[in-house]
Structure 1
Amino acid sequence: MNHVLCGLAANAALPSELVDRLIEIADADIAADLARRADLSHAQALALASRVEESAAWLAYEGRLTVADIDPVAQPDAALALLCEGVDSPEWARLFAADPVFERREKLAACSGLPSDVVETLAADTDVRVVAELALGTTPEVAARLAGHPHAEVRRAAAVNQATPPPLLAALLTGEGLPPVLRCLVCDHEETAFVHDPQCPRDEWGPLPGNFCEGTHESAVHEIQRRALENPATPTDAVLRFVNHPSLRLRWALAARSDLPSEAYGQLAMDPHDGVRADLAGNPAIDDALIRTLAGDGGHDVRRRLAHNPSVPLDVLIRLAGTAKIGTTLLPRIAAASPAEVEKLAQSPEPAARMLVAQRRDLPAGIRDALATDPDAKVLKSVASHPGLSERQLRAMVDRHGVRVIAQVAANPDATSALLEDLTRHEPPVQKAFREIARHRNATGPALRNCLAVRQARPLATGHPALPPQVIAELLTDTDWQVAEAAAANPSLPLAVMSDLVPRL
């Protein structure tokens, strides 16, 4: 791969004539960047599709090519891309429904709005992968038929499809009213009885590691049930019998459903597996009493997931903030807090409460400024990147808490050029701050030069348009390919250098 030419192909400042020259020499890697250019003309798109066959599909997805531009026989991937994008071409659909290459029939089966005769052809395909792909997104009428397909993979796909009629989804859970499953991926590939070693390195299409079949397609039927339990269209009454099922995976599939009665959620809250309780903790449908119960759960990830639940009461959330690993993120309940709640949180004696509300970026100026003087460093880290803070306020944060807040101050969109330069000279240096400065809109040449000395910030700084053109040109030969590619993609790269980089035929 020529990383410099790939970077140049993505350079927004590349003149049209140099785009033409790149098209003339493009390989698949260069073409991938050219196809994403916002300024690519229709004529250039046609030339690129002619030069690099696979680029036709990329250009079709980008909307740069139309039905009139594509020969479905010579450019099948591009034609399928347009079909997947909703282009109405029954002739193309019929052509691909009979294509000997199953991958093309499979891709066609994923398209919506196909003619009814094409759907019938795909539903009767001899390759189960094609029929399963159709079942994933087809209409209720076709999904209802495919729910009784003899192959388990097709039934699994129908169990995923939310358009499958609810009575059929319920039947997929129990098998009642459906003909028996005759084939599965295990017995398609192996003689039964067979257990697929969980450590098996094989990666071809077939049974997943750990799957088994002793003649009744046990793993496949289990997977059909799991998918139906996860499907929100499956009737509530049908799924309740699985709340105490011996299979962990089936119980786990219920934890995120929003339609269970409180008694069922209560049973799941006592599940011995942390993963079930963690998914339940993040479920907005659980009630206040259960939330408070789960707040004391010491299982892995339970309290963190509970903190992200939009229904969690504020008093519970404040307690969780002191014990759960929430991270620096705006939690849904905080984002939905009323103005009165925001004010109460900002004035709370608990630093955790002030830290949570400081993550909001729509705070009234008075509350924002009060939090900017908070004595607790965790609160300042949360508020430091809030827009509207002055240079004086940001510098005061650095003076008080130094390395604990520098990265967040550097991420503030209103940080001045002078402040960013000073932050690059801070002792001791803060690695994350250099990455923030390297992508900051107000970064200057001197600040960016300092960022070049930090390995993780170097590619970002190289791509910044404020970096001096001479420095950008020098970085084209950097030993780090990411740096060289970023230099070539920098819109401040001199035009003469761009021209010299593109070979002439």
Structure 2
Amino acid sequence: MRHVWSGLAGNPSLPAGAVDRLVELAEPDLSLDLAERADLTERQVEVLAERGAAVAGHLVETGYLVAERVDPERRPFAALALLRAGKGLGGWAVLLAERRELWPELASCPGLPAEVGSRLLAEGDRDVLVELAEAHPDPGVLAALAAHPAPYVRQAVGWNASTPPAVLADLLNDRPPLESCEVCTRHPAPWTHPRDCPDPDYRLPGGAACDGSHQYARHAIAQAALAHPAAPVADALRHLRDPSPLLRARLAARTDLGPAAYELLAADLVPQVLEPLAENPAIGEWLIRRLADHPHESVRRAVVANPAVPLDLLDRPRSDAALKSWTVPPPRIAAADHTETERLAAATDPEPRRLLALRRDLPPHVRDRLADDPVAKVANAVAPHPGLSARQLTAMHRRHGRAVGPGIAANPDTPTALLRTLVTGDHNAATLRAIARHPAADGPTLTACLRDRRARDRAATHPALPLDRVRALLTDPATAHHAAANPALPVTDLLRLMPPE
């Protein structure tokens, strides 16, 4: 019944006393579901906040937890959640540092006082130090962590947005040199962990190796540091001809290398390196055009993601396959100005028109032009656009039929009568799934959606679904938890689903 209780936990019609009962169960997943409610009492918030960092963090996001109402000694997880969100009060971190069991969570809080960071650095175990290395802003603490003998700690420093250039340079140049790694502490060097190791619980990933130089660990540290925008260019460029495509890929994504470096990377034979390069707006138009003609489709698809790609490259047959996989407007099309929008709306290829139609900020005349587009996929893309009238949506359906059903069903202004038409004629599963969450869908329309499994899950929570249908879904283990969340269920039905006292 636990999955049913999860549905009850999110049901806004559940009486306050029943909510209290679910809170008392102290189920971790259920506590997260309960934290989503909009009607929690102060007492319920207080209890849920001590169910762990995830629950407390959500309560902070929703505004239930505020610093003025939290006693850090009595409610440490609530205090930690507020600290992590930057909403804690001065002195809390020092107070919580007295409780060693809280150190892993405390170490991940941004903006810790220097005295707390120094204490965790001196006394914390490796897991605490990794958390500290990822979040602490103090350059002195980060410099000390970058010299730590554990490779995982050094790697975490590389991911920290506050790590200064000098520390990143030390990471890239293995200063001070690693004396050991997780591979050679387990196995005498040289040793390589087989990629087809039969033990699924073995901690080392396949391919982890050490020949005495701790190369696998150094590679992981360099990979983190090269991704950091503050890493010094001179130190980063030393890896330009590195045999590892992972490191070259990190370099290819950087925007500060210079034309010569980008041209060298563009000659790479590995798509894993060329894809981030093709997305990089700093490489210049010449290289963007060169990569747009690359034989590998994944590279051409990455060019489409480049914010600096020239618009003419998006309106040509060679780009068609690269555009088809996009379900949101690529950055260049999303940022198109008025003149460029007009140009895209008149593109000869329907794919640029389809991607433009996915924008929801189009001028009315452009929106209406795309709604009249002779190509169904363009019309379906613009169909959810706010501002389209029922007349336009109906005409679109008459012109293109089931091909535009999903888009029309996703439009919040689609009237009930048109939604009913979508399910009585020829339709597809995507249309049913969109209708199942539409606020204007009525009982007969939602009943028609039950023929598709995913639409059935969504329709089960819809308050307009007939009560007999909701009760039938409660008897099906696959849909019971969705149906239990339906706000139209009478209180007697809800209480019948509650856990026993």
Q: Same fold (TM over 0.5)?
A: yes
Offset from partner CA, 1:113-140 (integer Å, 9 cap, x none): 3343332222123632322322222221
Which 10-residue stretch deviates more, 111-120 or 257-266? 111-120
Between the aligned partners of 2:124 and 2:24, the Cα distance in structure 1 is 42
Q: How far is 1:472 from its partner?
A: 2.1
Structure 2 counterparts to residues 67-86 of structure 1, below 5 A: 80-86=80-86
- Report percent identity of matched pairs: 45
Q: What is the TM-score normalised by the length of structure 2? A: 0.90
Q: How far is 1:457 from its partner?
A: 0.6
Offset from partner CA, 1:451-483 (integer Å, 9 cap, x none): 012212101011112212343233222231xx2
For residue 489 of structure 2, the aligned residue among 482, 490, 493 is: 493
- 8 Å CA contact 1:93–1:114 kept in 2: the answer is no
- 8 Å CA contact 1:321–1:353 kept in 2: the answer is no
Between the aligned partners of 2:81 and 2:362, the Cα distance in structure 1 is 45
2:3 pairs with 1:19: no
Query: Any idea what SS the aligned residue of 2:321 has?
Result: coil
Q: How far is 1:24 from its partner?
A: 4.3
Between the aligned partners of 2:290 and 2:273, the Cα distance in structure 1 is 15
- 8 Å CA contact 1:42–1:65 kept in 2: the answer is no
Between the aligned partners of 1:66 and 1:367, the Cα distance in structure 2 is 46
- 8 Å CA contact 2:31–2:55 kept in 1: the answer is no
2:153 pairs with 1:148: no
Structure 1 residues 80 and 352: alpha-carbon distance in aligned structure 2, compared to 1, 3 A threshold: closer
Between the aligned partners of 2:47 and 2:245, the Cα distance in structure 1 is 55
2:246 pairs with 1:259: no
Partner of 1:112: 110
Structure 1 residues 46 and 362: alpha-carbon distance in aligned structure 2, compared to 1, 3 A threshold: closer
Partner of 1:475: 473
Partner of 2:303: 306
Between the aligned partners of 2:352 and 2:121, the Cα distance in structure 1 is 56
Q: How far is 1:77 from its partner?
A: 5.2
Q: How far is 1:503 from its partner?
A: 5.1
Offset from partner CA, 1:242-297 (integer Å, 9 cap, x none): 22222212111111111110221111111110111111111122211111111101
Structure 1 residues 198 and 79: alpha-carbon distance in aligned structure 2, compared to 1, 3 A threshold: farther
For residue 92 of structure 1, the aligned residue among 81, 92, 95 is: 95
- 8 Å CA contact 1:274–1:299 kept in 2: the answer is yes
Between the aligned partners of 1:345 and 1:66, the Cα distance in structure 2 is 48
Q: How far is 1:76 from its partner?
A: 6.2
- Which residues of structure 2 form unaligned runs of 5+? none
- 8 Å CA contact 2:255–2:282 kept in 1: the answer is yes
For residue 200 of structure 1, the aligned residue among 197, 201, 208 is: 197
Q: How far is 1:93 from its partner?
A: 2.9
For residue 235 of structure 1, the aligned residue among 232, 235, 247 is: 232
Partner of 2:214: 217
Q: How far is 1:358 from its partner?
A: 2.0
Q: How far is 1:60 from its partner?
A: 6.0
Structure 1 residues 420 and 76: alpha-carbon distance in aligned structure 2, compared to 1, 3 A threshold: same
Q: How far is 1:494 from its partner?
A: 1.7
Structure 1 residues 46 and 179: alpha-carbon distance in aligned structure 2, compared to 1, 3 A threshold: closer
- 8 Å CA contact 1:269–1:280 kept in 2: the answer is yes
Partner of 1:279: 276
2:348 pairs with 1:326: no
Partner of 2:130: 132
- 8 Å CA contact 1:35–1:55 kept in 2: the answer is no
Partner of 2:45: 45
For residue 226 of structure 1, the aligned residue among 223, 226, 229 is: 223
Structure 2 counterparts to residues 383-402 of structure 1, below 5 A: 383-402=382-401
Q: How far is 1:159 from its partner?
A: 2.2
Partner of 1:377: 376
Q: What is the TM-score normalised by the length of structure 1? A: 0.89
Q: How far is 1:316 from its partner?
A: 0.8
- What is the Cα-based RMSD across aligned positions, in Å? 2.6
- 8 Å CA contact 2:35–2:58 kept in 1: the answer is no
- Which residues of structure 1 form unaligned runs of 5+? none
2:428 pairs with 1:454: no
Offset from partner CA, 1:346-386 (integer Å, 9 cap, x none): 23344333333222222222222222222222322222222
Partner of 1:290: 287
Structure 2 counterparts to residues 355-434 of structure 1, below 5 A: 355-427=354-426, 429-434=427-432
What is the aligned length? 491
Between the aligned partners of 1:76 and 1:426, the Cα distance in structure 2 is 58
For 1:172, give the aligned amino acid: L
